[in-house]
Amino acid sequence: MKRLTNLFVSSPHSRAGLTTNQVMRAVCYACLPGVAAQVYFFGWGVMVQIFLCILVALISEAIILTLREKPVRATLADGSAMLTGLLIAVSIPPLAPWWISVIGVSFAIIIVKQLYGGLGFNLFNPAMAGYVVLLISFPVAMTNWMPVQQLMTYDISLMDSIAAVFTDFTQDGYSVTQLRMAVDGITMATPLDNFKTQIDLGLTASEITNSPIYGEYGGTGWEWVNLGYLVGGLLLLKQGVIRWHIPLAVIASLFTLTLISYSITPDLTLTPMATLFSGATMFAAFFIATDPISSSTTIKGRLIFGAIVGSLIFMIREWGGYPDGVAFAVLLANLGVPLIDYYTKPTVYGHKGKA
């Protein structure tokens, strides 16, 4: 069983001299370019959710640690709860009701993390497990993303965002449903969700991507969000906080499978570049799949694990009922980690390999 104490001792977040707190803070800082892009394109609701989710994460961790008679201040100081709250916050719609954040974060911290013994013992990525619970339980609320700011009918201030999250209405009385109306009067969906829906209605890929919600390389706004998380991920690689195996395998497998599908049925498939820069692709590759506890620990295992995640993202997006599929892909790959590690662990010198 992998475990973290004052140092990260399991890959891919392995770097001598970095404490758990330093690594968690490094990951949080690396999220900033992506978070900044989300705030720019989707408004202040992103910041409201971040504040709320981190607060709930810290409170949940403190409560369960007190009940378990574990040190509260020292555990909270490692930054893992804060990071979990941040990862969930940027994954949910900016104006999702407050109880969505409370339920998702509480489940991630109390059930997925602490119930299994705390940091280092969880079988699944806590943030994605909490997200999946929300997505399955409240699919409507979890898919009510705002259109990007330039396509919105109403301008939303910080106070409007706070009011919408906690009351479902802005200060001027506009509901979240009304806010989701684009300038042409059409209720918006995410680019991936819209593409899947329109394909089912018989439209071709070229007809669908002529919509203003699609940019040159992906969904409008989403391509910049993905670029932000790509920049942050590269910073983590440069600092040695994560290793390249899982991100490369996720991106390469998703790109390759999409390229094959696009070559066969170009009228039914997004381009490979649009696939990489839509949804949560880069966020998943650099910040979710590389979780040091729930991912593989061997070099070959990381490559296999990343390839599985990328392949599952492709399959869920292509044939599944959910438009993105990142969270499901990561959790399903988490299930295979013990088997992957068993068959990819290096042979000890002087011992024969597996028959």
Q: What is the pLDDT of residue 13?
A: 42
For the whole model, what pTM was predicted?
0.86
The Cα–Cα gap between 141 and 122 comes to 27
Residue 218, pLDDT score: 78
Q: Which pLDDT value is given to residue 347?
A: 63
Q: What pLDDT shows up at residue 34?
A: 96
- pLDDT tens for the chain, 355 residues long, are 444 444 333 333 444 457 888 889 999 999 999 999 999 999 999 999 999 999 999 999 999 999 988 888 888 888 899 999 999 999 999 999 999 999 999 999 999 988 878 787 778 889 999 999 999 999 888 877 877 877 777 778 899 899 999 998 888 887 777 777 654 444 456 788 878 888 878 888 888 888 777 877 778 888 999 999 999 999 999 998 999 999 999 999 999 999 999 999 988 888 899 889 988 899 999 999 998 888 888 899 999 999 999 999 999 988 887 778 899 999 999 999 999 988 888 765 555 555 4
Residue 305 tokens, joined: 């694990």
The pLDDT assigned to 17 comes to: 59
